[in-house]
Amino acid sequence: MPDLREQFGQIDIYLFDQLLRGRIAPGMRILDAGCGSGRNLVYFFREGYELFGVDADPRAIDSVHGLPPSLPAANFRVEPVEQMSFPDAFAEVVLSSAVLHFARDDSHFLAMLRGTWRVLKPGGLLFCRLASTIGMEDRMHRIAGRRFLLPDGSERYLVDEALLLQLTGELGGALADPLKTTVVQNQRCMTTWVVRKNN
C-alpha cells in the first residue's frame, strides 16, 4: 500500500475533497496562485497534471523547482498574484490557499482576487481558502477596515459571508459548494470558498 503522505503530501483536506468529487480531473491545467513550497501540488505532480504557479517569495519557487526534476522552470514564476504574467483564461483550476488574507487593504485584496480570477477559464474552478470572521465575529479586534488582530496574535485581512457572496456575484461566478468555515480552537477561522466561473 502506498504511503499516503508520499502520495498526497500536505494537501489541504478541502482541496482533497474536490479531488474526491471529481471536480479536478487528469488533463486539467492547474495554476497555484501563491503556491508557497508546493504543498498542495505533490499529488498533481505525481499524476502528471499540467502545473503552473506563482509566488512572490523566490525561496518558495526554488522549493517547488526541487519537487519534480522534469517540470519546466518557466511554469513557476516569482510574481505577485495581482501581477501574474500568465494570459487570461489560462487554467481550468486555480488554487488560492492561505494567500488573500495577506492583503494590506481593500484595494490590494481586490487586485489579488481579480488577478487570480483573470487566469481562470470560463467554466473553471477557483478553490480558495482564506481567513475570515465567520464564527468568531466577537473575538476579532479591528485595526482598520478589514484588517484585524486575531486571538492567535496574527494580523490578517478578514472576509465574511456577506462579502464572499457579493464577490461571487460581482465576479460572474457561482458557488460550487456552500461556504465552509473551520474554527481553530477560538484562535482563527479559515473559510473554504469554491467558485465556478460562468461561461
Give the pLDDT confidence score for residue 65 in this predicted structure.
80
Q: What is the dihedral of CA 72, 125, 80, 109, to 10 degrees?
A: -170
pLDDT category at 108 given cuts 50, 70, 90 is very high
Give the pLDDT confidence score for residue 48 in this predicted structure.
83
Judge whether residue 152 has pLDDT over 90: yes
Q: What is the mean pLDDT of residues 168-183?
A: 97
Answer whether CATH 3.30.465.10 is correct for domain 4-197.
no
Q: What is the mean pLDDT of the chain?
A: 93
